[in-house]
Structure 1
Amino acid sequence: LKDPDPDVTRAVWEGKVPMRITMDPGEAIALTSRAPAEAHFLLAPRCSYIPLLVQQVRQFFVDHAGLSFAGDDSEIWFESQGVPLKWHYPIGLLYDLHVAPVCSRSGEPPPLPWEVTVRFRGFPADKLIRVQSSMTVDAPQDHFMAMIKEADYLRSGSIKKVMSLSKQDQTALWSGISSNDYEGFWAVNTRLITTDGAPKSVPVRIYVVGRSVVQEPVAPFESSSPANTLSDALARLLPSLFQPSTPTASPPPSPLTLLHGVPAPLDAPLLWLSQNCAYPDNFLHI
């Protein structure tokens, strides 16, 4: 197998989402001394995670709005259009999930910056997992490494590659994300995703509005056919939405399919996409 293309992996890594973060009006009145609070603008890496923004956002509202909040960071949460944002999803995936459905219905281009509300009260424990961090356990890092191990298992049938990494290398994966260090991350990750032969399956998750997340093993090759494409995988996993073309007929129009905020190349080999366009957790999130 070929090594990942650094031009592609770097372009994916450098993708960002402009965000405009405001306080909930009711909380702004109750918790700040200078209401209405200003908005906080930032460029969030698509491959990063909401918990990595918390300290920066909290400090901004302390400095610029006189925020009086003595609670733990684990009590802080974010929402978009009234829907809580799942902190264990990459930021780019969150943006696509919350913005794309609205745009597809209206025909309007995606709104930028992304309007997000930070909340300091009323943590929705029935909808979100509470982030609990301590000196020994970092929940976001722990979840990320669990995803890395799951991806490794789907590719090879074991997690030997991940478990054979030194503690320093395992730490380098998460610190690469938290410090936006492309070289540091890929120096380790390349060893996880390159194999001597074809992997057993490709780690992929598919998100369809109004449905549960679809995750099933998808082989990169079939014994009697060339490399499986993304279109092949979608037709297999979601036959009601994606129908393969035939020699005598073209398939009906497919739903909008996004990968990193752009229309996914349906004719691209699934294995190539997995090596070059996966999120840092090594899953294709489509």
Structure 2
Amino acid sequence: MSDKGGGTEAQRYAWGGAVPLQIHLDDSEVTTLPPPPPALILAPRLGYLPLLVSQIKPFFSSSLPPGADTVWFEYKGLPLKWYIPTGALFDLLCAEPERPWNLTIHFRGYPGNILTPCEGEDSVKWSFINALKEAAYIINGNCKNIMNMSQSDQAELWRSVLNGQLEAYVRVSSKLKLDIVGDEFSLKLNSSTPKSDQTVNTDLDATGTTRTGKVPVRLYIRTIDEDIDDIEDAPIVDSWEKISYINRAVEFHGEEKCFSLHDAIKYLLPEMFTEEVAPTVGSSDTGEAQVEEGEQISGADSSTEKVLRPEIKLVRIQGIEPRLEIPFSWVVNNLMNPEHYLHISIYLKLVPIS
């Protein structure tokens, strides 16, 4: 897991990740015969859909009706929130990943009642900067380092994100002092590497465990009906009201016991757990999310007094479905998005309590 060349090997994989898209122009906006074929494009996982418009529009410009562009994307009837990274949207909305991912693009009729306004790259940039400020406040208790960035550093940081340049990003972001946790797991993997080639977090305590840390997390929860056996049969999401969204920090302390991804999910969703469970996804006797016996949760049918509990069926981060016992510090240091939030998609299935 060397950090030569800027970032760890895992970070380089994450930054190089992309989602193949097949973009269709909405039928209501087609003014030519035959209609234009779909556009095929590779979308960076860490990027944002509006940043693709300059590449996509030439495919459809000759077919558009007159009027000003108000671009937005849709997936099976669901307008896509432009400020969520493309990879996180894909992980959340495609239970069985589509390749290519078929999206519809609109240049007219912006759904302002569902989506916040987007004025192209500038809107995405300032949304990114604001998220970075929020993350800095969570990590350090203030966002002074972000507020005091020079114009040239801010421009270089954004350009590194825009162009997927990890080395440039690491160079600029290191000035922001947003280190969260010492990754003891990776340090052990690097134990055979010469010390001159290691980047060691000096915030490890005398015993080698990690210091207290706060990790900014954006958690997206999709609940699947109890009658669905296979996750690929999950119904499409046609409303954002069907997605639970949690913007919360995970706080943990240096201790002998490894703080795992399972521990982090338990911290984020304490209401789901009432006892210690083994970190295994989708098992009937381990890794389940528990609720208090007799507690009724959303989705339970009160008329029949059926009580349901949520069971974790799938966890995705950067397109990866990690084992829940993986050290959370490794996940944070390698799979965090450039705005210093960790985006986690979780699929829950509601099952009856017997």
Per the normalisation by structure 1, the TM-score is 0.83
Alignment gaps of 5+ in structure 1: 104-109
In the other structure, the counterpart of 2:91 is 96
The 1:43–1:118 alpha-carbon spacing in structure 2 relative to 1, beyond 3 Å, is same
- Aligned identity (percent) is 34
Superposed CA RMSD: 2.5
- For the pair 1:258 / 2:271, whether they are aligned, the reply is no
Whose Rg is larger? 2
Is the aligned partner of 1:235 residue 2:266? yes
Change (3 A) 1:66 1:245: closer
1:33 aligns with 2:32: yes
Question: Are 1:204 and 2:191 counterparts?
Answer: no
Residue 18 of structure 1: aligned partner:
20
1:199, distance to aligned residue in structure 2 (A): 5.5
1:138 to 104, 119, 122: 122
Higher strand share: 2
Q: Which amino acid aligns with 2:155?
A: T
1:182-201 → structure 2 map (5 Å cutoff): 182-192=166-176, 193-194=178-179, 196-197=202-203, 198=211, 200-201=213-214
Deviations 1:162-184 (A, max 9, x none): 23332211121211122222222
Give the counterpart letter for 1:277 in structure 2. L
Matched-pair contact (CA < 8 Å) for 2:21–2:43:
yes
Gaps of 5+ in 2: 181-201, 204-210, 223-241, 279-284, 289-310, 345-354
**Cα deviations by residue, 1:240-284 (Å, 9 ceiling, x for unpaired):** 5566427xx844363200001120332222233222111111111
Partner of 1:112 in structure 2? 99
Report the Cα distance in structure 2 between the residues aligned to 1:267 and 1:85, rounded to whole angstroms: 32
Residue in structure 2 matched with residue 177 of structure 1 by the alignment: 161
Please point out which of 74, 80, 83 is paired with 2:75: 80
Q: 172-181 vs 40-49, which deviates more?
A: 172-181
Alignment-mate amino acid for residue 15 of structure 1: G
C-alpha change, 1:232 and 1:279, in structure 2 (3 Å) is same
Alpha-carbon spacing, 1:53–1:229, altered in 2? closer, same or farther (3 Å): same
Q: Partner letter of residue 113 of structure 1?
A: P
Q: 1:60 aligns to what SS in structure 2?
A: helix
Distance 1:199 1:34 in 2: 62
Q: How many matched pairs?
A: 264
Q: Give the aligned partner of residue 57 of structure 1.
A: 56
Q: Secondary structure at the match of 2:214?
A: coil
Larger helix proportion of the pair: 1
Output the amino acid matched with 1:125.
G
Is 2:108 the partner of 1:121? yes
- Could you say which residue in structure 1 is the equivalent of 2:184? none
CA distance in 1, matches of 2:33, 2:259: 57
Report deviation, 1:147.
Answer: 0.6
Contact 1:78–1:119 under 8 Å retained in 2: yes
Among 3, 8, 12, the residue aligned to 1:6? 8
Partner of 2:251: 219
Deviates more, 1:211-220 or 1:34-43: 211-220
Q: 1:152 to 1:199 in 2, by over 3 A?
A: farther
1:271 aligns with 2:329: yes
- Alpha-carbon shift at residue 191 of structure 1 (Å): 3.6
Identify the residue that residue 152 of structure 1 maps to in structure 2.
Answer: 136
Indicate how the Cα distance of structure 1 residues 58 and 232 shifts in structure 2: closer, same or farther if over 3 A, else same. same
Counterparts of 2:137 and 2:86 in 1: how far apart (Å)?
Answer: 24
Q: Deviations over 1:135-177 (max 9, x none)?
A: xx92111110011111111111111232333221112121112
**Structure 1 pair 21/157, CA: closer, same or farther in 2 (3 Å)?**
same
